[in-house]
Amino acid sequence: MDKDSYQAMLAAVQAFHDKHDFKNTGGEELAYRVALMTEELGEISACVTKGKTTEQLAEECADLFILLIGTAIAADFNLNQSFWDKLEKLTQRSSRMINGRIRVSEFRDS
């Protein structure tokens, strides 16, 4: 299987879940997974704010990505399709400069 494909990543994360029996040992409980993702975001933030290496940042981002794929497995949704559906919505949105940075959102004028 092509290691660059989403299907290969999904299969690898599924194998990891199966190896550790996440389904039957609490590893696929969604609130727990959110806590783990929050922890990884903190580690990503620390990489950026503490000037850690690109390699350290890449490793923390990979941790988060693996958790996201695992959450799709746990919640039984197609992350690949969700990605493309959301990107299509995002490409239809306008952008604005807010506080000197670009923002793409569904802006609602009050």
DSSP letter at 103 equals E
What are the DSSP E strand ranges found in 62-108?
95-98, 101-104
Q: What is the C-alpha separation between 1 and 84, in angstroms, rounded?
A: 21
Predicted local distance difference test score (pLDDT) of residue 110? 60
pTM above 0.95, yes or no: no
Question: What are the C-alpha distances in Å from 46 to residues 32, 34, 43, 50, 54?
Answer: 21, 18, 5, 6, 12
Whether the per-residue pLDDT at 1 is higher than 80: the answer is no
- Look at phi and psi of residue 4 and say left if phi exceeds 0, alpha if psi is from -120 to 50, else beta: alpha
Domain residue ranges of the chain, discontinuous segments joined by +: 6-80
- The per-residue pLDDT for range 87-109, each reduced to its tens digit, is 999 999 999 999 999 999 988 87
CATH class assigned to 6-80: mainly alpha
